Structures are given as structure tokens and as C-alpha cells.
Structure 1
């Protein structure tokens, strides 16, 4: 191999420069911390990043983590995306993470996520900063406000079904659900209605999502590079949108202020009449909510549609509940908050699906100070990783965890799940502020699907992989038939 060969030069650089630094860091860790958790650091810089990303894309990530627990126990170390990482498993670990007051953990994501999403989004903030931003978001996402938007979601769902389902014999569920939830989020979060600007954002947000858990090396033609460029374009669009909304609010303050999340946040002031959120905070949090909201909800609805096709008993019970509500409505009448409250069984089905296949596979925090857990020292600067599926599929907590059972979450169930065992929406002060938003769009969508259509799966292979969210290989194609009114 010639010394002028770029591959040789890169390999030589790794061996001569990077590897000694890496080994020095590992040696320093071993010297300073006698009680580090067990586990292998893996490859220099990459660590075990490629291994876990491969496991996610082959849908074996849960098994990957289970093998770690069997080999090392509930606490183990590894290198993920260039950062020393400790994996914590168990209900006690969930409680530790979600109830910490902010002196031990910072709500900081991997470098790839932080650079794409921005450093002022709610997933990055802790302490008073987190409370301030969360308070602003909750002012729009709390139930008493969201109940005013049920009708708007209803209209978006009807419009979507008329455009993409009626008159069709076969559809691909997953891409259509992504389109639906993205349109809902566009209307209610950033306030962009149908048109060229919305169409452009669809592709940009998909590039953002694709690069979130990629190796954070900004080289041309990489996922991370595409994601960064897409993020920059989205930010430019949102800055222009904020400017337009401020102008509109000067002209029509009362009407414009309540149209969407960004408009709502632009009106909120601190006690000294200063703005609550800066423009950068508005942009960062709008991006986070758009990504987290539209992708997770579309995954959940897709899994519900697959379940209803495979389980006649669950389908019959959901259909009965939804038909009773439909019979109480006049032709063309929109669903209301009170109608959603009657969809108890349908939502328990959704919760059980979230238990078995949570859309978000793993979450992260950054360690602010050395602390001891289970007899091990977790050093300052490391990141903590945990996975909801590990407790939600633990047979000691949920008997026969691979069996679908919508009665698990009934109040009168024989043994309701203990606190911090079901964490698909987070927990404690870190509970997802958008959980009610997700509940509304899920229930409204399922209501119209089961009352307007019947369907069956049209592909034998309906498996999925994670990239990083669940993705069905063939988009979950189904054959549909409209119901007669």
C-alpha cells in the first residue's frame, strides 16, 4: 500500500495518534476510579456504536442489551458515539434518573442529537432553565388548552382520509401516518398550512431524523452532514415564520396569538414583562417537538393498525367502543374532548403497544458529578443510557411480557404496574409534555379509521427495524374497503 494512499494515511493516523490518546484516557480512568462498572470500551472513538446501531437496524437491540445485562449485570460501561457511557437497567434506575433534582444528571443528549436539534431545546436543559422552557410548552400542551384543538385535529384527519384513503384499494400505512401526523403538527405547533413550504419541510425533517444517532463526523454525503444541512434550512424557515407571526400579531393580536404553539409562546412574558423564550429557544423546541411528536405518534398508530388486523378480539372491542361514539354524533359533527374520554379501551390498547414496542428505544443523560450506584462509581462527564423496553418487557414486572394484554393498565387490574416500570412517556418532572397531544391525535385517527374502513394486511413480511425509530420494511401495506354510511 502506497504512503500516498488516503486510506493508508487515515489508518496510520488512527494507529499513531488516536489510539495512544485513547489508551491513555482508558488508563487514566482505571487509575482514578477503582470501582468503575464492568464492561468493554470497544473500538477507539467508535466504541460499540456500530454494534448497537446495527442491532437497532436488525431489530435485535433489545437482545443486545439483554446480553449486556446477563454478562455484566444491571450496570455496565461502554463507549457510545465517542462518549464514555454507563447503561443502567431496572425500575430503581428509572426512578433514580427521573426523580433526580438536577444535581447529578444534566438532560444532555449525544453530540449528534445536540448539534442537530440545538442546545436550547428542552431535552438539553436542566434546573430552572428546564422549568422555564417546560412551563412555556405546557401552557399550550396542557389538557385544558388542547381540548380546544380537538376539532382542528378532527378536520385534519378527515381531510387526510378523503385525500389519501377514499377511492383506494391498497395503501401503505406508515408513510401515510407520517404524512398525517406531520400535517397535524404543522398546523398546531408551527402554524404552517398546506402548501409548498410545508411540502419542503416534510423532506427536511426526515433528513433530521435520519441523522440523530449517526456517527457525528461532518463529512459530505454522510447522514450526519445531510441532517445538519436540513436542520439549518428548517431553522431559516422558522426564523422567517417567527417574523411573520410577530407582524400578524401586531395587526390581529387576539386572533393570531392562539393559532399554534409558536404564536402562543410569542405572547408569554416573564414577571418583568421580558420575553419568556428567545427566538433560538423557540426554534430549537419547535424542532424537537416536531421530530418527537410526529414520528412517535405515526409509529404508534401504525402499530395499532397492524394489531387490529391481526387480533379480531381486540378489533371487535375497539370497533364497538368507537361505533357507540359515532352513533351519538350528528352527520358531520366533530369529535369533542368528552368523546375522547369515552375511548378508554382504545387508549389502553395504545398503552399496551407502547409497552411492548416503545417508539423511542433509548434515552440519555450527562453525569454532572461523580456518584455511586450499585457499588460502582459513575464519573462526572460520562453519559447515562437506559431503555424503556428493558423494564417494560421484564417478566418480573409484567408477567408473560410478550403477550398483548390491554387489561394490564386497567385501574382494577389484579396487579397494576409499579411506578417507574412503564416509562414510554418518561416520568416525574421529565414526563413528556406532549403525551396528551399524542393521545388526542391517536384516538381521533383510530376513531375514523375503524368507523370508515375495514382492512387486512397485504404482505406476509410485516416486520420492522429501528433507524432510529421503528420502520416497516414495506411500509405496512394493507387492502382497504370503505364502510357504507
Structure 2
């Protein structure tokens, strides 16, 4: 027993010595670079990662940013997140600098955890991946193409409400239902899978993937990261099965190259005439399915939350949507012209995404030394932009805690202040897709129900997207016709 404690003491001493040595050399490096942004790099190995994540777990991710803006500078500060020296650029100026210097001074960067979950991303650099996706997506996600999807979205929404909301107990959990709708829609439009019995099990694996992909990369059984890796392997196998069957259908002319993104990926070739390999296709489809449903389901959930809290906003949305509903013949589906009439409803959705942004921010990497706001940013340093540095800044949005959809009337917010979809060359390519699926959902929801929250002060957890801790239970109040 004494020997055990001796080993324990020696091990602890060595760990302390190693940590002090790491701090010493890290600080020597930082001191050797003149004029770095103010800030601290925190503890060895973990830096300020735990505090960065814990503010989200507490439902206040903006405090990590604003505490440091107050302490150091409103323009830029340094930290260490995910064991990376990192500069956080704040405000509209920081957003503009990063978004307009893409592939000039900065490039996209993802934590190692993402590369471990998506192994095909290790085969090429981020610029090559971005070029591939820009080539693959436009014909499916540009507004002209999406017009064809509105009727499908309306059909899926009607079926979703009939099976998940109507003729049920009057109490429902909003977040799982929102995820069910957006995931069903993504599967239907991206890979033409429309099997209600198959989708729920698939969606559960995507939940593990989405919550674990940006977690602390500790690969032990039971950790979120471990669950994400297992979920990715399961999803990848399923997608490769679907791809195999689709190849057969394409060969037999039972499917077309333009029917969805999967078919297009299977038939497109690069400059050398080479087809994409199956693993690459599976990982890209996996990424699209995550992006195509997770952020939108969070936005829908918080739209329902705010409409329950603000009856006057609900009434205005209801009036707008019922005017559209009354103009339709029985059984007639929504179309592009109907969507264009939903101006107030979209302003509401935008204000929701200002206060509860599904995307918290994004990472970049410096590809050369440069100066920003009078500070030196060394080559290889990582950079981070946060929606909260502008979305809740009173200089960008007066009375930032007030829910006010009129902010988006006319020309709307000033450039680089409202960034729920990012900006620049890497702005989310699915922005218009998200607008359509959110508005189609709002239309089908408000024409059927009013509702009231059952937990007035339900805690919000951000991990990495905002989620009500108890999944937002509401009591439905069907409209009497």
C-alpha cells in the first residue's frame, strides 16, 4: 500500500513538472511573438476549453465572449481552445475581416475530432473539399431548384403533423418532433429515402453524431465523442448500402442523375474523369444530412418557444398564414408565390435565430502572419468568430434582449452584424433551403394549433446547438373550424 502511494506521488509530481514545463515553453513562445492580442491561454492541455464549453452547458455561451471583451478589448482577444492557440475576432469588423479574407489570409479549420469522425476529410485539404462541394451543390440548393421542392416539403409536413401532432395527447415534446420533420425532409430530398419505419433509428444515430462531433475528443466508451464515432460508422455503412442500391437503379434506368444529391455524386466525375469513391460520398452525404436538419430543427424549436411566450407575435404570424391558407383550393399544396407572402413569418424566424442562433460560430486558420486591430496573428494560429459578439451587442441591435421582428424590415440589419448562416465564400449553402423548410413548417403548425409552454423557465443547453433541457413540452390547443 505504501508503495502504491509512493508511485502515485511520483506520478503526480511528474505530471505537475510536465505541466509547468509546458507552461514555461508555451509562455516563452508567446513572449517571443511581439504584440499578440491580449488574453490568457489557460491551463496546460485544456486551455480554456472547459470554460468555453461550460458556458454553453449553462445556456449562456455569450458570456465567454463578452466577459473577455470587457476584460481585454472589444476587437480581438487570445485564448486556447481545443489545445489550439486561438484569436477571437469580435464585432462586425472581425466578421468582415474573416469572411472577406477567405483563402487570402485565412482558411477553414476543423478540430481533430471532426477529422476522426469524418476520415475522408484527411485525404484532401479544406480548400479542395470546399471546391468539390461548391461544384456539387448549386443545382440542388439554389432558389430556382428549391422551388420544385416546396410541394414535397408541404406533403411531408402534412404527413408529419398527421402522424406526430394530431389526434395525440394534448401534450407533446417539441424538439424531437422538430428533428423528426427536418430529418425526414433531408432524407427525402437528399437521398430519396422516405421510409417512416427506417428513419427514426437513423435519426437517433445522427443525434449522437451531432452532439459528439464537437465535444472533448476523449474516445472512451460512453463519452459523447465515442458515441459520435460509433454513430458515424453505423451511418456510413447505411449510406454505402443506399449508394450501392442506387448504382443498380441508375444502371437499370430506374433512377436519374438529377433526381437528388446522392445520384449526382454517384455520376459526377472530376477533371481526370474519376468518380468519387464510396467513402467520400458517404461522408459528404452525412455532413449534408447533419447540416440539413440539425440547425433547422433547433430554429423551429425556438420559434415555437417564442410564439408561445409572445401571443401578439403569434397572432400576427397566424393572420399572415391563414390569409395564404384561405387562398388555396382544397388539397392544393404550397408554392413559391405563397412562400414570398410569408414576410412577417420569416422576420420572426430571423429574430429567433438572432437570439437563439443554431450556429454559435466558426473556426479559421491563419495561412500567413498578418495584423488585425493592431495585433499580430501568427501563421498557424486558429481564429474564431462568434455570432454573439454582434447578435447581442446593443451597438448592432438596440435593446438586444427584446424580441423585435421589425429589425428585419426594409434593408434589415447592417452588414456583418447578423450572421446565423456565416458569411463570405463559406456562407451556409443551405440558407435558402432552411428558409423554405422553416416557413412550410410554420404554415402547417399555426393553421392547426395554438399552444402553451408547460415549463415557463426551462433551462437552455447549448451543446453545440441550443436545446431546451426538457425538450420543450407544450400543451396543444387545436383551432376549432
Instruction: Report the TM-score, using the length of structure 2 for normalisation.
Output: 0.93
Determine if contact 2:65/2:388 at 8 Å carries over to the other structure.
no
Count of equivalent residues: 478
The residue aligned with 2:364 is: 365
Q: Hey, what's the Cα distance between the residues in 2 that align with 1:310 and 1:87? A: 34
Aligned residue number for residue 59 of structure 1:
59
- Counterparts of 1:101 and 1:405 in 2: how far apart (Å)? 32
Task: Name the residue aligned to 2:36.
Answer: 36
Tell me what 1:479 maps to. Answer: 475
Structure 1 gap ranges (5+): none
Structure 2 contact 36–376 (Cα < 8 Å) conserved: yes
Contact 2:85 2:382 in 1 (8 A): yes
- Write out per-residue CA displacement over residues 334-383 of structure 1, whole angstroms, 9 at most, x where no aligned residue: 11112111111101111111112211112111121111111111112211
- How far, CA to CA, are the matches of 1:439 and 1:210 in structure 2? 23
* Kept in 2: contact 1:358–1:388 (CA 8 A): yes
1:454 counterpart SS class: strand
**What corresponds to 1:285 in structure 2?**
284
Residue 460 in structure 1 maps to residue 460 in structure 2: no
SS, match of residue 475 in structure 2: strand
Q: Is contact 1:3-1:9 (8 Å) kept?
A: no
Change (3 A) 1:11 1:285: farther
Paired with 2:24 and 2:222, the residues of 1 have a C-alpha distance of: 31
Structure 1 residues 11 and 262: CA distance shift in structure 2, 3 A: farther
Residue 213 of structure 1 deviates from its aligned partner by: 2.3
Q: Which residue of 2 aligns with 1:306?
A: 305
Q: Aligned partners of 2:216, 2:100: CA distance in 1, in Å? A: 30
Aligned residues: CA RMSD? 2.3
Check if 1:217 corresponds to 2:218.
yes
Helix, strand or coil for the counterpart of 2:137? helix
For residues 271 and 367 of structure 1, the distance between their equivalents in structure 2, rounded to whole angstroms, comes to 29
- Relative to structure 1, the CA distance from residue 190 to residue 452 in structure 2 (aligned partners, 3 Å threshold; closer, same or farther) is same
Which moved further from structure 2: 395-404 or 283-292?
A: 283-292
Residue number in structure 2 paired with 1:470: 466
What is the Cα deviation at residue 17 of structure 1?
3.7
Are the equivalent residues in 1 in contact too, given 2:22–2:44 (CA < 8 A)?
Answer: no
Distance 1:230 1:327, change over 3 A: same
Residue pair 1:108, 1:124 contacting (<8 A) in 2 also: no
**2:99·2:424 contact (CA, 8 Å) conserved in 1?**
yes
How does the TM-score come out when normalised to structure 1?
Answer: 0.92
Residues 268/147 of structure 1: CA separation in 2 closer, same or farther (3 Å cut):
farther
Q: 1:11 to 1:161 in 2, by over 3 A?
A: farther
Q: Counterparts of 2:397 and 2:10 in 1: how far apart (Å)?
A: 53
SS in 2 for 1:385: strand
- Secondary structure of the 1:120 match is helix
Query: 2:204 aligns to what?
Result: 203
Task: Report the CA distance between 1:197 and its aligned residue.
Answer: 4.1
Unaligned runs of 5+ in 2: none
Measured after TM superposition, the shift of residue 12 of structure 1 is 4.7
Deviates more, 1:386-395 or 1:16-25: 16-25
Closer, same or farther in 2 for the Cα pair 1:17/1:63, shift >3 Å? closer
Give the corresponding residue for 2:81.
80
Q: Partner of 1:431 in structure 2?
A: 427
Aligned partner of 2:436 in structure 1 is 440
SS at match of 2:447: helix
Q: Is 1:226 matched with 2:227? A: yes
Distance of 1:373 and 1:405 partners within structure 2: 33
